[in-house]
A and B are shown apart, each in its own frame.
Chain A
Amino acid sequence: MRLIGLLVLLVMAFVLDLCAGPVRIPIHEIFRILFSSASKNNDWYFIVKNIRLPKALTAILAGCGLSVAGLQMQTLFRNPLADPGILGITAGASFGVAAVMLSGGGMATLYAIRELGLGGSWLIVGAACSGAGVVMLFVLTISSRLKDNVLMLIIGIMMSSVTLALVSIWQYFSNPEEVKDYLLWTFGSLSGVNGPQLPIFALAIVIGLVAAFLSSKMLDALLLGENYARSMGLTVKYARVVIVCSTSLLAGSITAFCGPIGFIGVAVPHLARLFFNTSSHRILMPACCLIGTVLLLLCDSIAQWPGSDTVLPVNIITSLVGAPMVIFMLVRKKNLNIYR
């Protein structure tokens, strides 16, 4: 029942997201463009095919990726506040972007950003990927040596701290123009992924998701803590490497292509546990994908409400709308003590 309800909600949110935007397009036209690849209005066709559809697909991919990565981190660290950025991957990507944008205002950099739009720049994506990749390699090297997941958590947080401090130093010595460009990037955007970027983004997310789904059984064992997990035959270091790899790939590529999108990764796993009242990751993984997708599509629709020309950054909406929703759900369900 709940599954069917969520699927219906997903389809509705997807269509709503396609409808939302500064240009008003009738819903039957949208369906016609989707299914018959033609429209009486060429502008509408272009907008739906090249702008709204890629954006909605990006929302789906990012929604799945962030939620699943958040679930993995919360279980690995047995911490309800863990999110995909906790390993420092997001901070690493931000560092990469800051390095490019703020590096003394190189003309090529500015040209690339201005010409192709913020998110659409391969340069930005490349920079973010390298930043995330360096942090990921560092975290992986450490994770295969450490005995304890808690140490891993602390090191992740320290890494974030150091990386963001470096970004701050860079900001401090940069001129306001460049800092503003960087700030805009940190607001997050789903509309930057288009054309040839979408398949690459999709590939990275799908690989990350497959790895995450394959780690379901290991995550189930980790619910009991590392000692029990080990006593049931789990090689904890191996599990940690698989989980860290998949989370890094998901969080790193989403940050690279869409900027740092907050909140979804922390909130959705909680919603999934509440909705499906289970702790089995075989159920929670797909549940996270569904709920994360619906939530991000809705947030994106709200961000560009029809009739309004202003488009708010998606990062603002996810927190502004999402956080009260989660508080309401938790309190109403009176299930707060599941985290005790």
Chain B
Amino acid sequence: MSGGSPLLQTSDLQTGYHVAGKKLLVSDKMPALHLGAGQLICLLGPNGSGKSTLLRTLAGLQPPLGGAIAITGQTGLSSAGLAKKISLVLTDRIAGNNLDVYSLVALGRYPWSDWMGGLDESDRAAIERAIESAGVGPLRNRKLHTLSDGENQKVMLARALAQDTPLLMLDEPTAHLDLPSRIRLMRLLHRLARELDKGILLSTHELDLALQVADEVWLLEATGSMHKGAPEDLILNGIFEAVFAKEDVTFDRATGVFRIPPEGGRPIALEGGGVAGFWTRRALQREGFTVTDNAGGVVITQEDGRTIWMLNGKRFVTISKLLAALNGLT
């Protein structure tokens, strides 16, 4: 897929702001970026690393402080021209204006509609396609202020799709959503990239979701540089850990999960694997134990199809009872 036509290319890009006449660089050591049709790229990075600034710069909402951005091979597009190339889903809340879902999606046709905002047949068809693709058909007559966060995000996506641009950029689209909604939205974006052959760039904090859908990860560092690559590569070669991990948080390469390291770290042995072993290990780590694979500690066994935890000859039928006993011991 990465061999698709380049929708977005940058060279020597520098992002940042002008503050009181001076340049305030946010990201200035970036490699050449490249986003092709049908590709979904996740932009990751710690808070304050400049994800939104980069996204806004690429989308043309703010000028780059250096370097060049080419959209479908063209540089220096007017804002009206850009609007036909890039559509956005931002974190801005839209409220207090009596808009219904259909009108909102119809606003996506802004760059294509006539001087009074009138819609023709092709506009209406595009709106229907967008509503269908985003799966917001049942919401079409609802007022915006009656929508849940998850519905709102899908509706904003439908508006962006109605804009009918080759590029789609989303700023933290999964923030405020519950876990199933996050997964559904990411799957939807993944499917849209493939089916509609769009180039999609989204910023997110969800490493595990990025792992599932991203063709490539752009990992921004707070120092202003960036690492690119398949998400798995970035984890295996330790870059992910280096960017995110601080002294009070560690990154577990085996599970792809961030942890708060235990203080003290009482050792405890755990025998037994599988699903029960995984969750028991998690629970013990949460309680501040350092879990080893030796014998002589907690043993997980099966009894009549039920999971039983054994410790010092005593039986426990739930993890919480086991933890209670362990905490009682110390």
Binding site for B on A (CB under 8 A): 75, 78, 80, 214, 216-217, 220-221, 223-225, 227-228, 230-235, 273, 277-280, 282, 337-340
Which of A223, A225, A235 has the most chain B CB atoms inside 10 A of its CB? A223
Binding site for A on B (CB under 8 A): 59-61, 79-84, 86-88, 90, 92, 94-100, 103-104, 107-108, 110-111, 113, 115-118, 143, 145, 163
Give Cα A237 to B20, complex, Å. Answer: 20
14 chain-A/chain-B pairs, Cβ below 8 angstroms: A78-B96, A217-B110, A217-B116, A227-B88, A227-B90, A228-B92, A228-B94, A231-B82, A231-B86, A232-B83, A233-B79, A233-B80, A282-B117, A338-B96
A217 in contact with B97 (CB, 8 Å): no
Say how far A183's CB is from chain B's closest CB, in angstroms. 36
B99 in contact with A282 (CB, 8 Å): no
Which of A217, A223, A232, A233 has the most chain B CB atoms inside 10 A of its CB? A232
Which of A216, A279, A337 has the most chain B CB atoms inside 10 A of its CB? A279
What residues of A have a CB within 8 angstroms of the CB of B60 in the complex?
230-231
What residues of B have a CB within 8 angstroms of the CB of A217 in the complex?
110, 113, 115-117
Say how far B200's CB is from chain A's closest CB, in angstroms. 15
What residues of B have a CB within 8 angstroms of the CB of A232 in the complex?
83, 107-108, 110-111, 163
What residues of B have a CB within 8 angstroms of the CB of A227 in the complex?
61, 88, 90, 92
What residues of A have a CB within 8 angstroms of the CB of B163 in the complex?
232
Which of A278, A338, A340 has the most chain B CB atoms inside 10 A of its CB? A338
Give Cα A231 to B162, complex, Å. Answer: 13
Give Cα A80 to B88, complex, Å. Answer: 26
User: Given known contacts A233-B79, A233-B82, A279-B98, is B103 in contact with A228 (CB within 8 Å)?
Assistant: no
Q: Which of A75, A223, A224, A234 contacts B79 (CB 8 A)?
A: A234
User: Given known contacts A231-B83, A282-B116, is B107 in contact with A220 (CB within 8 Å)?
Assistant: yes
Give Cα A338 to B82, complex, Å. Answer: 32
Give Cα A75 to B96, complex, Å. Answer: 10
A223 in contact with B145 (CB, 8 Å): no
What residues of B have a CB within 8 angstroms of the CB of A282 in the complex?
116-118
A225 in contact with B86 (CB, 8 Å): no
Give Cα A232 to B94, complex, Å. Answer: 15
User: Given known contacts A231-B86, A233-B84, A273-B98, is B107 in contact with A223 (CB within 8 Å)?
Assistant: yes
Give Cα A223 to B100, complex, Å. Answer: 12
What residues of B have a CB within 8 angstroms of the CB of A339 in the complex?
96
A228 in contact with B90 (CB, 8 Å): yes
Say how far A107's CB is from chain B's closest CB, in angstroms. 53
Say how far A190's CB is from chain B's closest CB, in angstroms. 31
Q: Which of A216, A231, A235, A338 contacts B143 (CB 8 A)?
A: A338
Which of B80, B82, B97, B113 has the most chain A CB atoms inside 10 A of its CB? B97
B79 in contact with A235 (CB, 8 Å): yes
B99 in contact with A223 (CB, 8 Å): yes
B82 in contact with A225 (CB, 8 Å): no
B interface: dominant SS: loop
What residues of A have a CB within 8 angstroms of the CB of B86 in the complex?
231
Say how far A284's CB is from chain B's closest CB, in angstroms. 10
User: Given known contacts A217-B116, A228-B90, is B110 in contact with A233 (CB within 8 Å)?
Assistant: yes
A231 in contact with B61 (CB, 8 Å): yes
What residues of A have a CB within 8 angstroms of the CB of B100 in the complex?
279
User: Given known contacts A228-B92, A273-B98, A340-B95, is B103 in contact with A216 (CB within 8 Å)?
Assistant: no
Closest to A280 in B: B103
What residues of B have a CB within 8 angstroms of the CB of A235 in the complex?
79-80
What residues of B have a CB within 8 angstroms of the CB of A220 in the complex?
107, 110, 117
Closest to B93 in A: A225
What residues of B have a CB within 8 angstroms of the CB of A230 in the complex?
60-61, 79
What residues of A have a CB within 8 angstroms of the CB of B115 in the complex?
214, 217
Q: Which of B88, B99, B104, B145 contacts A337 (CB 8 A)?
A: B145
Closest to B80 in A: A233
Give Cα A223 to B110, complex, Å. Answer: 12
What residues of B have a CB within 8 angstroms of the CB of A78 in the complex?
96-97
What residues of B have a CB within 8 angstroms of the CB of A225 in the complex?
92, 94
A279 in contact with B97 (CB, 8 Å): yes
What residues of A have a CB within 8 angstroms of the CB of B80 in the complex?
233, 235
Which of B88, B90, B117, B143 has the most chain A CB atoms inside 10 A of its CB? B117
Give Cα A225 to B61, complex, Å. Answer: 13
Q: Which of A214, A216, A223, A234 contacts B97 (CB 8 A)?
A: A223
A277 in contact with B113 (CB, 8 Å): no
Q: Which of B59, B90, B96, B99 contacts A80 (CB 8 A)?
A: B96
Contacts beyond the supplied A78-B97, A223-B97, A338-B145: 4 A-B pairs with Cβ under 8 Å: A223-B99, A225-B94, A231-B88, A278-B98
User: Given known contacts A217-B116, A228-B88, A233-B111, is B103 in contact with A340 (CB within 8 Å)?
Assistant: no
Give Cα A277 to B61, complex, Å. Answer: 32
Which of A75, A216, A228, A340 has the most chain B CB atoms inside 10 A of its CB? A228
A224 in contact with B107 (CB, 8 Å): yes
Closest to B90 in A: A227
Closest A-B pairs by Cβ, 9 of them: A233-B83, A217-B117, A232-B110, A233-B80, A231-B88, A338-B98, A233-B111, A279-B98, A279-B99
What residues of B have a CB within 8 angstroms of the CB of A214 in the complex?
115
Closest to A224 in B: B94
Say how far A52's CB is from chain B's closest CB, in angstroms. 36
Closest to A270 in B: B98
B61 in contact with A221 (CB, 8 Å): no
Closest to A217 in B: B117
